[in-house]
Amino acid sequence: MKELIKSRRTIRKFLQKPISCEQLAEYIDLARVAPSGANLQPLKYIAVQSKDMADKMFPLVKWAGYLAPDYNPKENERPTAYIVVCADTDIRKTGYDMDVGASVENIILSALADGVGACWMVAIDRDEIRKLLDIPIEYEIPCLVALGYPKESPKEVGIATDIKYYLEGETLCVPKRNMEAILIKTV
């Protein structure tokens, strides 16, 4: 588990090898048991698995803001599946953001355990996604996870000057603050 957490990097370039409905259902089942404030469990999910729907989702998400549009996935590098996270406002109107974080991290790490890469996405066209997937108005759409077998191997690097990720040849370098910078104190 610790190795998985340490090795995880956001993946934005994918092999065109499909992910099965069973795999997606398993990741959602593992999101289902994530911690939830007051155990209200307002989150629900839509699994997008068909090639047709994945193709329609692609223009509705925005990739790697610091490197766009050059680093956008090419036609043969697109995600093969998506899990759209919905918050049922009939169950909880606001304040479900931390539930979303816990649930998405469960999805990302479950997928990684199968060798499947993921990109957590908040820069998404919610209105068009709602139309495409026929999502009822009482469901908010906080984010989604794009999924697929990785076709890149981004790496963690130290911060030289900036937190912006950058390309070194074909390798995406992701600067992370070190322990000294983030551990305020141990008392």
Ligand X SMILES: Cc1cc2nc3c(=O)[nH]c(=O)nc-3n(C[C@H](O)[C@H](O)[C@H](O)COP(=O)(O)O)c2cc1C
In the numeric block, which tokens belong to residue 105? 């991290």
Q: Is 148 in the site for ligand X (CB under 6 A)?
A: no
As measured in angstroms, the least distance from the Cβ of 102 to ligand X is: 12
Distance (Å, whole) CA 72 – CA 157: 21
Q: Is 58 in the site for ligand X (CB under 6 A)?
A: no
35 prior amide bond cis, ω within 30: no
Q: Is 123 in the site for ligand X (CB under 6 A)?
A: yes
As measured in angstroms, the least distance from the Cβ of 74 to ligand X is: 15
Q: How many CB atoms lie within 10 A of CB 131?
A: 11
Distance (Å, whole) CA 18 – CA 149: 8
- Residue with smaller CB distance to ligand X, 21 or 113: 113
Binding ligand X (rule: CB under 6 A), the pick from 47, 54, 85, 121 is 121
- 3-state DSSP helix/strand/coil percent for the chain, to nearest 5? 35, 25, 45
Q: 104: helix, coil or strand?
A: helix
Residues 6-35 contacting ligand X, CB under 6 A: 9-10, 12
As measured in angstroms, the least distance from the Cβ of 22 to ligand X is: 26
Among candidate residues 183, 121, 125, 145, the one with its CA nearest the CA of residue 48: 145
With CB under 6 A as the contact rule, which of the stretches 14-22, 30-38, 62-70, 86-94 interacts with ligand X? 62-70
Which helix (H) or strand (E) segment holds residue 8: the answer is none
Residues 152-171 contacting ligand X, CB under 6 A: 154, 165
Q: Is 151 exposed, middle or buried, given 0-12, 13-18 or 19+ CB atoms closer than 10 A? A: middle
Binding ligand X (rule: CB under 6 A), the pick from 40, 91, 122, 167 is 122
Q: Is 57 in the site for ligand X (CB under 6 A)?
A: no
With CB under 6 A as the contact rule, which of the stretches 25-33, 35-43, 48-56, 116-124 interacts with ligand X? 116-124
Q: What is the DSSP-derived secondary structure letter of residue 6?
A: H
Instruction: Print the binding letters for residues 63-82 with ligand X: x by CB under 6 A, - otherwise.
Output: xx------------------
- Residue with smaller CB distance to ligand X, 39 or 80: 80
**Type of residue found at 131:** K
Which residues would be at the binding site for ligand X (CB under 6 A)? 9-10, 12, 62-64, 119-123, 154, 165, 174
